[in-house]
Amino acid sequence: MAKGYWVSVYPAMSDPEGLTAYDELAGPAVRAGGGRLLSRGSRVVAREAGITRRVVLIEFDSFEQAVAAYESAAYRKALLALPDGFERDFRITEGLD
């Protein structure tokens, strides 16, 4: 079964510390949904139209599990904690195997 991934890029962040409330809710919600944090805010080398801001990569055992975790009540609560002024490019993608 192919794994599922959440990929988030934050092109605009006026106050990175404003993510604290979101992170405190999102972390447990992701883990409860079976997600594993692979990268968050680590070094980025951007090429072409890439963005060097915060990048988050989370792995799930399946694409369906990744979608279900996003749609969970716990993660919906975390989304409400995202502060104004944050722009985020968020995708759920299926792995190759």
Instruction: Give the pairing type, strands 55-60 and 36-40.
Output: antiparallel
Tens-binned pLDDT, residue by residue, of the chain (97 aa): 899 999 998 887 667 777 888 899 999 999 999 999 999 877 877 788 777 778 899 999 999 999 999 999 999 999 999 887 778 889 999 999 7
pLDDT of 66 reads: 98
CATH fold for domain 4-94:
Alpha-Beta Plaits (3.30.70)
User: What integer pLDDT is reported at residue 94 of this predicted model?
Assistant: 97
The label of the residue with tokens 């944050």 reads 86
Q: How many residues does the chain have?
A: 97
pTM for the whole structure: 0.87
CB atoms within 10 A of CB 54: 19
Domain spans, the chain: 4-94
